[in-house]
Amino acid sequence: MARVSVIVLAFQHEAYLAECLDSVLAQRTTHEIEVLIGQDASTDDTPAICDRYAAMDPRIRVFHRANERKWRIEGHPTGRANCLDLLQRATGNFVTLLDGDDGWLDPQKIQRQLDTMVADPSCMGTYHATRTVDRLGTPSGLLHAALPATIGVQQAVGTRSPFHTSAFVYRNTAEMKRMILSAEGWKAGSYDLWLFACAASLGTLRRIDGEASFYRQHGQGISASGLFVRGNLHRLRILEWLMFDKLTLGRYRAHLHRVCDEHLAGLMGKSFTRRDAWLWVEAVVSHPGFFLAGQGRIARVVRAIRAHRAN
């Protein structure tokens, strides 16, 4: 029997958290489950909901965080400290993450994912399709309808996420823990992509069939915080993949640089503030090996800023 740690990240989720936790507790599995809830200084009824569920089920532990302990990326508050604290605490052989406004649809999801990985020691993680819902829970579409049967680093590292975080279960090895809790992991702009890439660098990721989770789209997540506005998403992703290149000792450099070049190509047409322009200068100065090695990389940045800098 395996043990899975379910990480639930809760912040201002009073309208959705009960549904999320009910979907976790509804799992029918022969494997052991621990549920770690990180309550990240919510000012609504989220803390009380967390405590109520912890009192109902001994498998649930709640960790309440203070607002001043939030980790900031370029001045923007994030849930990174909350997330990495829980990943450090996770004791399971396997780990899965779930935002408190998302949830699971299949009560056999964990059983099927863990059975796949237990049967194949080379399998580092499993994933599946994810349904999108609106603020009220009405289905609105499907994320990644045509998922490949397996994913390696070349599929995990791209300009968009290969699947949704709520779909992912990974093997909690010592090396995986080292990579995801590294200094680079703290700085990565898109932690979901960092998590997927780290796992794919250590083994194969395999698909299980079906739509087994849902992702709620209501415009209140980190994407709406301002961190990824204008051309900043491209810069942050480039910096993330250059850090991943360093962490993996250049094993995937050719592919990582191709993805970074795709992000540079996406800069045209974006607006830039004066601060954005300075952050690009800092990126170039910090990573001359990349920006000077490729033909026209610096020129692309300069042209995009000159053509479209916002007032």
Q: What is the pLDDT of residues 29-46, one digit of tens each?
A: 999 999 999 999 999 999
Contact 176, 199 (CB under 8 A): yes
- Which of 42-46, 198-202, 261-265, 273-277 shows the lowest mean pLDDT across its residues? 273-277
Q: Going by C-beta distance under 8 Å and a sequence separation of 6 or more, which residues neighbour residue 65?
A: 38, 39, 40, 41, 81, 82, 85
Q: Can you give the pLDDT at residue 2?
A: 82
Tokens for 186, please give them: 């703290």
Q: Is the pLDDT of residue 269 over 90?
A: no
Q: Is the pLDDT of residue 219 over 70?
A: no
Q: Is the pLDDT of residue 310 over 60?
A: no
Q: Can you give the pLDDT at residue 265?
A: 93
Q: Going by C-beta distance under 8 Å and a sequence separation of 6 or more, which residues neighbour residue 14?
A: 42, 44, 45, 46, 49
What band does 225 get if pLDDT is binned at 50, 70 and 90?
low
Q: What is the mean pLDDT of residues 215-220?
A: 81
Q: Is the pLDDT of residue 191 over 60?
A: yes
Q: Can you give the pLDDT at residue 291?
A: 95
Q: What is the mean pLDDT of residues 262-279?
A: 91
Q: What is 3-224's CATH number, 3.30.1330.10, 3.90.550.10, 3.30.9.10, 3.40.50.300?
A: 3.90.550.10
State percent of the chain over pLDDT 90.
Answer: 79
139 burial level (CB within 10 Å; 0-12, 13-18, 19+) = exposed
3-state secondary structure of 42: coil
**Residue 255, φ and ψ in degrees, nearest 5:** -70, -45
Q: Can you give the pLDDT at residue 58?
A: 97
First to last CA, the chain: 60
Q: Return mean pLDDT, the chain.
A: 93
Report residue 273 CA to chain centroid gap.
27
Q: Is the pLDDT of residue 306 over 90?
A: no
Taking alpha carbons only, the member of 118, 116, 100, 219 closest to residue 165 is 100
- Which of 64-68, 260-264, 272-276 shows the lowest mean pLDDT across its residues? 64-68
State percent of the chain over pLDDT 70.
Answer: 96
Strands (E), the chain: 3-10, 32-40, 60-65, 71-73, 76-78, 94-99, 103-104, 123-133, 139-143, 150-151, 169-171, 204-216
Q: Is the pLDDT of residue 257 over 80?
A: yes
Q: Can you give the pLDDT at residue 224?
A: 54
Q: Can you give the pLDDT at residue 51?
A: 98
For the stretch 107-156, pLDDT in tens is 999 999 999 999 999 999 999 999 999 988 888 888 887 899 999 999 99
Q: Can you give the pLDDT at residue 311?
A: 41
